[in-house]
């Protein structure tokens, strides 16, 4: 299959996403083709990216001066300290605004690197090479950057668009199934909030997609990117309808935070549990019809998809979960602001509930 090129146009920047296979040895050409020039280049790499692939990238730059900086990308290290370690290199090496920072890693690496790129001299050129399915279909698009604080996830960050996104499917072949499933969660979310035809495609081809078979995985990634693009282009700063992308995420963030961002439950798994919770809450509040509710629940019941919240939480976690929902960025005054579902393709934003509603629901329906 030939590579796919999508163009994202936001208020602040226009940039391409390139999706394909065997792109790594051509990085240098791809950058040049897309008018990205620089004197110096810092590659921020997740330490888990296989050395074989790193070497391919290095080789592609030939004599061009690049600096490699490996980080241990996990939610615990997704903090200001790691951002500062990147800024220190840029400062020490006297990078100019026209130099370049390239992120090679998953969503965490991209969020940390993108934030560093956005605040260094008020913004240097940023290229994102997402290496996980989750980051290829979701976090690499739309310009959200950020780090966690002890108070919660992504509470410090910026909106900063990359100059280019390069999504090489060869990266995905190095991931284990659990990581593929994580990315699948966001693909599923994109289908639920926007497009019944795409949801049906996923339902039919689920196994081919998670086995990374061509052309199914390419179609799933590019369709997912297109859905995210259409939302982000209309509302870059999440003033209104970009909130639909948070479907399932208020729950997901609270689940992750309650477990202290432990490896036991990673972001994508939390999202799938969050989607399931949001669907059930939508149904219980008579927003979602029973037909769509059942179809969706059946899908989430497919092999390998996490679906049992009680595997991770018990009643003693209830207060923690509610606490983290209360401090969500999207809340206004003291209500929890949720995205819920009317039917497949029709999300409802700004659904405000008080914490007692949510506490009762989670207690009765999920943890009982």
The residue range among 165-173, 190-198, 267-275, 321-329 that interacts with a copy of itself, by the rule CB under 8 A, is: 321-329
Give SS3 for 66. Answer: strand
For residue 12, what are the CA distances in angstroms to 34, 232, 247, 310, 324? 17, 11, 25, 43, 31
Interface residue with a copy of itself among 6, 66, 67, 119 (CB under 8 A) is 119
Q: Which is nearer to a copy of itself, 155 or 212 (CB)?
A: 155
Closest approach, Cβ 148 to a copy of itself, in A, equals: 11
Give the helix/strand (H/E) hosting 46.
Answer: strand 41-46
Residue 4 or 156 with smaller CB distance to a copy of itself: 156
Assess 120 for contact with a copy of itself (CB under 8 A). yes
Residue 59 CA, chain-centre distance (Å), reads 29
- Angle 138-143-149 from CA coordinates, rounded to 5°: 90
CA distances for 47 relative to 106, 139, 162, angstroms:
11, 19, 22
Q: Any idea which residue has 């909106």 for tokens? A: 159
In 195-343, alpha helices (H): 196-210, 216-234, 249-258, 267-284, 290-300, 318-326
Q: Would the CA dihedral through 195, 111, 336, 183 be positive or negative?
A: positive
Report, in Å, the least distance between residue 80 CB and a copy of itself. 8
- Counting residues that bind a copy of itself (by CB under 8 A) gives 39
CB of 320 to a copy of itself, least distance (A): 15
Does 54 help bind a copy of itself (rule: CB under 8 A)? no
Residues 96, 197, 307, 354: which binds a copy of itself (CB under 8 A)?
96
User: C-beta of 253: minimal distance to a copy of itself in Å?
Assistant: 13
Which residue among 15, 126, 159, 313 contacts a copy of itself (CB under 8 A)?
Answer: 159
Phi, psi of 160 (to 5 degrees): -150, 115
Q: Does 333 engage in binding with a copy of itself (CB under 8 A)? A: yes
- Tokens of residue 124, six digits: 């240097």
Nearer to a copy of itself, 94 or 314 (CB): 94
Output the smallest distance, CB 48 to a copy of itself, in A: 27
The one among 20, 114, 146, 162 contacting a copy of itself by CB under 8 A: 146
Place of tokens 């035809």: 197
Crossing angle of helices 267-284 and 249-258, rounded to 10°: 130
CB of 231 to a copy of itself, least distance (A): 16
User: In the range 233-252, which residues lie near a copy of itself by CB under 8 A?
Assistant: 237-238
Q: Is residue 216 close enough to count as binding a copy of itself by CB under 8 A? A: no
Q: Is 358 in the site for a copy of itself (CB under 8 A)?
A: no
Q: Which helix (H) or strand (E) holds 20?
A: strand 14-20
In the list 149, 214, 350, 354, the residue contacting a copy of itself (rule: CB under 8 A) is: 149
In angstroms, the CA 340 to CA 292 distance is: 13
Site for a copy of itself in 6-25 (CB under 8 A): 11-12
Q: Note the residues at the interface with a copy of itself (CB under 8 A).
A: 11-12, 39, 80, 84, 87, 91-92, 94, 96-98, 115, 118-123, 144-146, 149, 151, 154-159, 237-238, 326-327, 329-333
């Amino acid at each position: 299959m030939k590579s796919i090129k999508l163009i994202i146009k936001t208020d602040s920047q226009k940039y391409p996403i390139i999706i394909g296979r065997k792109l790594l040895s051509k990085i240098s050409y791809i950058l040049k083709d897309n008018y990205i020039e620089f004197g110096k280049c810092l590659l921020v790499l997740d330490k888990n990216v296989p050395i074989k692939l790193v070497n391919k990238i290095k080789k592609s730059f030939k004599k061009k001066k690049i600096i490699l900086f490996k980080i241990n990308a996990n939610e615990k290290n997704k903090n200001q300290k790691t951002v500062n370690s990147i800024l220190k290199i840029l400062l020490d090496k006297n990078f100019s605004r026209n130099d370049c920072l390239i992120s090679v890693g998953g969503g965490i690496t991209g969020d940390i690197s993108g934030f560093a790129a956005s605040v260094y001299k008020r913004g240097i050129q940023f290229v994102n090479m997402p290496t996980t399915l989750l980051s290829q279909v979701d976090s690499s698009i739309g310009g959200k950057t950020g780090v966690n604080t002890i108070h919660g996830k992504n509470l410090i960050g910026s909106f900063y668009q990359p100059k280019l996104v390069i999504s090489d499917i060869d990266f995905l072949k190095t991931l284990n199934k659990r990581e593929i499933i994580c990315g699948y969660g966001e693909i599923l979310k994109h289908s639920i909030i926007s497009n019944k035809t795409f949801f049906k495609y996923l339902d039919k081809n689920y196994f081919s997609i998670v086995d990374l078979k061509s052309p199914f995985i390419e179609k799933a990634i590019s369709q997912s990117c297109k859905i995210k693009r259409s939302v982000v282009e209309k509302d870059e700063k999440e003033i209104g309808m970009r909130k639909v992308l948070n479907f399932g995420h208020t729950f997901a963030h609270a689940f992750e935070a309650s477990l202290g961002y432990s490896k036991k439950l990673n972001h994508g798994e939390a999202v799938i549990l969050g989607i399931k919770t949001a669907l059930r809450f939508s149904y219980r509040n008579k927003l979602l019809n029973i037909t769509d509710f059942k179809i969706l629940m059946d899908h989430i019941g497919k092999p390998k998809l996490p679906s049992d919240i009680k595997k991770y939480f018990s009643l003693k976690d209830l207060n923690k979960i509610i606490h983290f929902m209360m401090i969500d960025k999207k809340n206004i005054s003291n209500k929890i602001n949720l995205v819920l579902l009317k039917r497949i393709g029709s999300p409802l934003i700004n659904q405000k509930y008080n914490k007692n509603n949510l506490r009762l629901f989670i207690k009765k329906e999920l943890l009982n």
